[in-house]
Amino acid sequence: MPAISAPSRVSKLLTVKNVHGLHARPATDFVRCATRFGSTIQIQARGQEFSAKRVVDVLFANLHCGFTFTLVAEGPDAAAAVETLEKLLVKIADADRNKFAAGPQFVHGKRDLFLD
């Protein structure tokens, strides 16, 4: 009979570095990435836990720029999940920095409307 291994649990302290934090668009990207994994993935912030697989939960976690939180994954692919989500946060921050380094792009002369 093959041995059944217990699911692994991995946690890591992460800091949000993009200017606007995990607002709607990056939160959606974060959730899409998290749902690719079979592990349970939780965000621990301010004494509460939020599912990393639900956009509403990620938004309720209020992960603003400079905020540090714990990402916890439990399951067969926990280590890969945490590593991949950490890399995604860096990618989101880099994209955010590059977007604002280029300055605003105007649409139809409206100052408050930016292009991606």
Catalytic residue among 20, 23, 64, 108: 23
Exposure class string for 30-44: b at 16+ Cβ within 10 A, else e: bbebbeebebbbbbe
Q: Which structure tokens are listed for 90?
A: 């860096």
Q: Is 23 in the active site? A: yes
Give the integer Cα–Cα distance in Å for 112 and 110: 6
Give the integer Cα–Cα distance in Å for 20 and 107: 21
Give the integer Cα–Cα distance in Å for 116 and 26: 13
Query: Which active-site residues does the annotation give?
Result: 23
